[in-house]
Amino acid sequence: MSEPPASLDRAALQGARVLLGVSGGVAAYKAALLARGLVTHGAHVQAVLTEAATRFIAPAQLAALTGRPVPTDVFDDAHRIVHVDLARQADVAVVAPATANALGKLAGGLGDDLLSSTLLCLTAPLVLAPAMHTEMWEHPAVVANVATLRERGVVLVGPEHGPLAGGDEGPGRLAEEGAILDAVAAALAPAGRGSGELAGVRAVVTAGATREHLDPVRYLTNRSSGRMGYAVAGALARRGAHVDLVAGPGELPDPPGVTVHRVETAREMHAAVVERAQDAAIVVGAAAVADFRPAQAADRKRKKGATDEPEQVTLVRNPDILADVGARKRPGQVLVGFAAETHDEEAHGADKLGRKGLDLIVVNRVDAHDAGFAVETNRGVLLTADGQRIALPLASKEALAETLVDHIVARRTGADLPERTPPR
């Protein structure tokens, strides 16, 4: 994924007081790069290391990079009540890497060292960048802790899928420095530091494919990666919107500042969206929702049977999520769809725009090598309910998402579109 330009999205870091917590995982060495990145963007960084982190990275290195002493113990400078002091002086805190132990202590409210005690005193926004082996990340206790923390409004960035220590590979790798910087900047933005045309506005975005089960091991799905929807969710959050992203299965990292709800089937996506759409001013349907599902999802694996006669699978219609949201549309709500087509795309797009009660629809071909499913770029045409046709030239999905959000913002305010630098 290409990085957004620093000047646009990371301005909130300038002058911000960032508490950088480092817990004891192999990825702790990357905290040095993050500290340097934060300082480069103008942040005042106060690093705090756990005892175990000091085995992986020297406090002196972070002290040199941040220009401040790095405490590791509650009893360093005990007369100052260091943990309370550190928490009060932070505009935002980020823990990178956050180990399973750090997540567990925070979820459970434990404060048995300087970092955990400081985080218990924190009232500023908190960003966690977990890093651990896949087995740990997928352990039910860690999954439950992550859900608890998310519910409390903690922002999680990553982990990403990739090579791990010891030659393993899977989800668990610390998010890239750029993604963590963006998450910290986005966490600061609602406090009024960033630009926020959509501050206080709720948005719901769908992304990715759905899975329609035939039996416990087989399902029907499609090639959508979810990238376009993730990019739209990230772009809305950068403008200050409170974004719920309802996403099908996939391995994309959570966009910074976005609350992600994972679903599998179209019916689960429908329930998650309809519930949240009532309070949302913006709903964007970028998911490739399966139109049909097997009438029966067998609870045991379907067997071949005695003959070679193929089994007939009966399909039934799935709910149309956007059409249902469109049918209950509130005044002032902006509804946006995507139409992925292989032919006559504009005619089909215009038809869907009217039928589903949408304000905007992005029409694109999915049979091109540089647009549509599972590629980094996209291009197409934006059709509006009042009959405008706006070309969307080839751009990264992130850049196209920014352009789309410009149109959403303009639709809400009725303002002329702002001049924007051409897509990267």
Binding positions for ligand C5P, rule: CB under 6 A: 206, 266, 285, 287, 289, 291, 318, 320-322, 337-339, 352
**Cα(97)–Cα(74) distance, rounded to whole angstroms?**
20
Cβ count near 38 (within 10 Å):
26
Catalytic residue among 145, 222, 318, 378: 222
Classify residue 100 as exposed, middle or buried by CB count within 10 Å of its CB (0-12, 13-18, 19+).
Answer: buried
Concatenating the DSSP letter of every residue in 142-157 gives HHHHHHHHHHTT-EE-
Provide the 8-state DSSP code for 26.
Answer: G
**Cα(64)–Cα(290) distance, rounded to whole angstroms?**
54
CA end-to-end span of the chain, whole Å? 12
Is there a contact between 91 and 18 (Cβ–Cβ < 8 Å)?
yes
Q: Is 364 a catalytic residue?
A: no
Nearer to ligand C5P, 176 or 320 (CB): 320
Nearer to ligand C5P, 37 or 229 (CB): 229
Q: Phi and psi at residue 337, in whole multiples of 5°? A: -120, 170
H helices present in 58-176, as ranges: 59-66, 82-88, 100-108, 114-121, 134-137, 140-151
The 8 Å CB, 24+ separation contacts for 5-8 are 5/424, 6/41, 6/181, 8/238
Nearer to ligand C5P, 241 or 340 (CB): 340
CB of 249 to ligand C5P, least distance (A): 16
Residues with a catalytic annotation lie at 222
